[in-house]
Amino acid sequence: MPELIDRIFFDDLKKQSPEDVCKRTLSSWNQVERCYEITVWNQKCVINPEQYKIDWIKENGKEENKDRAGELHEYFSLFAIHYLLTSKEINLSEKWISEKDIPGGSTFFRGPHEVPTNLVTQKFSKQIDKFKERCEAMHGTPIKMADAAYKFIIAPRIPVALLFWDCDEDFPAEAKLLYDKTIIDHLALDIIFALAVGFCEQFAGEAIN
């Protein structure tokens, strides 16, 4: 279990009804193993509240080796348990917003909490084709925005869009993350920030196997 996840989050999850959690989050409950199973960015996440444990499962059903390149950033474990704890049973709005559009976001997402989209621009400036290849390798779906943009299903109720404008002779490359407006109802600001950091670092890192 990553040290950044306090045991109290598992304790809070134990107090909730599995039926309610699964209904809210579109996850599933394994009664035999007494754990929740949910797909996070195309990887299977298994959360066992009683054992204070989060595992990531490879496609062949084996537990992911934590040292292997390709495992999701540790912030996705933090995201996953909070998603189970706080997400609501609501439909997507189909309206994209930036972090600055979230109530309190214009002051929160500054300084040390600035979303590090610079990691994306540093790696893919003047390489828009490689940006597209990376998006497709990470299970993105193209959308008609910016010079190139893709939507990623991070969790059943949490889509994220990554927009990219390549540099030209007048402007540097720019990237931006957008979220479905309903993210306001699901996650607190600090968890949205953790999701954004994990996303940017994951995207700018080595390709997922």
In this predicted structure, what is the pLDDT of residue 209?
30
Domains in the chain: boundaries? 7-86, 96-204
Q: 72: which 2 tokens?
A: 């999701």
pLDDT 10s digits, 132-142: 999 999 999 99
Does pLDDT of 154 surpass 90? yes
Task: Round to whole Å and give the CA distance between 202 and 74.
Answer: 10
Task: Round to whole Å and give the CA distance between 82 and 76.
Answer: 10
- Nearest Cα neighbor of 101 from 5, 18, 181, 193 is 181
pTM of the model: 0.89
In this predicted structure, what is the pLDDT of residue 78?
96
SS3 labels along 127-140: CHHHHHHHHHHCCC
- Nearest Cα neighbor of 99 from 108, 91, 90 is 108
Q: CB-based contacts of 163: which residues, under 8 Å, 6+ apart?
A: 145, 146, 148, 149, 175, 176, 177, 178
Does pLDDT of 169 surpass 60? yes
What does the mean pLDDT of the chain come to? Answer: 90
Does pLDDT of 62 surpass 60? no
Find the range with the poorest average confidence among 8-12, 150-154, 169-173, 191-195: 169-173
- Nearest Cα neighbor of 82 from 3, 187, 195 is 187
CB atoms within 10 A of CB 105: 19
Mean local confidence (pLDDT), 148-166: 97
- Nearest Cα neighbor of 167 from 197, 201, 124 is 124
